[in-house]
């Protein structure tokens, strides 16, 4: 019973922390546009959760096109910071607020400051999967480094499986490019 109470309290606290209060009047945006924003938010949530540690995906994923309130809570109880990503409600609201600011301006200096003073989306995104494909050795060592970083101390049994998948993707891409090249060579 106590564990259920703790879970409910954690959910309420998380909801209060991750609910986004728009700084635009939602009714100033057509309902169809807000519905599309919510659809994008709901598609982005599970993807963002998979980038967080110790999670299996989204636990709560809601969005109201009427109020633009949303909740994206991952299975680990945490919520990703939607302001750091595009295709999320904070991104769309920020972009729309900038558009409304520009519409109110009477000169280009004002218009420029609307966007430069209030940038939307990630300003310095964390690059998680950086790889190079110049040589097989380079791609393999980069894939191994990414796996080790992503799995941390759990990089024992799963690391070899993930590395094999990365290597398989690399060789599959090489085969695909080789096939296209051979096809064009035959046509000529």
What pLDDT, on a 0 to 100 scale, did the predictor assign at position 121?
A: 84
Report how far residue 163's alpha carbon sits from residue 112's, in angstroms, rounded to the nearest whole number: 46
Evaluate the CA torsion angle 170, 173, 175, 181 in order and state its sign.
negative
Q: Where are the domains of the chain?
A: 15-116, 136-187
> Helices 108-116 and 89-104: crossing angle, nearest 10°?
160
What pLDDT, on a 0 to 100 scale, did the predictor assign at position 31?
A: 97
What pLDDT, on a 0 to 100 scale, did the predictor assign at position 55?
A: 87
Task: Give residue-wise pLDDT tens across range 101-125.
Answer: 999 999 999 999 998 988 998 766 5
pTM of the entire predicted model: 0.56
- Alpha helix (H) residue ranges in 105-156: 108-116, 136-151
Where is 64: in which H helix or E strand?
Answer: none
Distances (CA, A) of 35 to 2, 61, 64, 67, 91: 38, 15, 8, 11, 15
Residue of 45, 39, 38 lying closest to 75 (CA atoms): 45
Low-confidence ranges of the chain (pLDDT < 70): 1-22, 123-188
Task: Give residue-wise pLDDT tens across range 76-108.
Answer: 999 999 888 999 999 999 999 999 999 999 999
């Amino acid at each position: 019973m106590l564990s259920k109470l703790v879970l409910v309290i954690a959910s309420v606290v998380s909801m209060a922390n991750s609910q986004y209060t728009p700084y635009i009047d939602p009714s100033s945006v057509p309902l169809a546009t807000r519905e599309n924003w919510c659809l994008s938010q709901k598609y982005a949530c599970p993807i963002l959760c998979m980038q967080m540690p110790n999670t299996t995906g989204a636990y709560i994923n809601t969005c109201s096109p009427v109020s633009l309130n949303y909740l994206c809570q991952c299975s680990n109880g945490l919520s990703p910071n939607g302001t750091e990503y595009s295709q999320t409600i904070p991104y769309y609201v920020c972009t729309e607020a900038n558009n409304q600011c520009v519409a109110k301006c009477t000169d280009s200096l004002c218009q420029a400051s609307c966007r430069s003073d209030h940038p939307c989306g990630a300003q310095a995104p964390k690059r998680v999967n950086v790889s190079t494909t110049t040589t097989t050795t380079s791609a393999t060592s980069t894939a191994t480094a990414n796996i080790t970083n992503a799995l941390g101390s759990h990089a024992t049994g799963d690391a070899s499986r993930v590395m094999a998948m990365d290597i398989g993707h690399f060789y599959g891409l090489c085969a695909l490019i080789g096939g296209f090249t051979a096809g064009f060579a035959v046509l000529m």
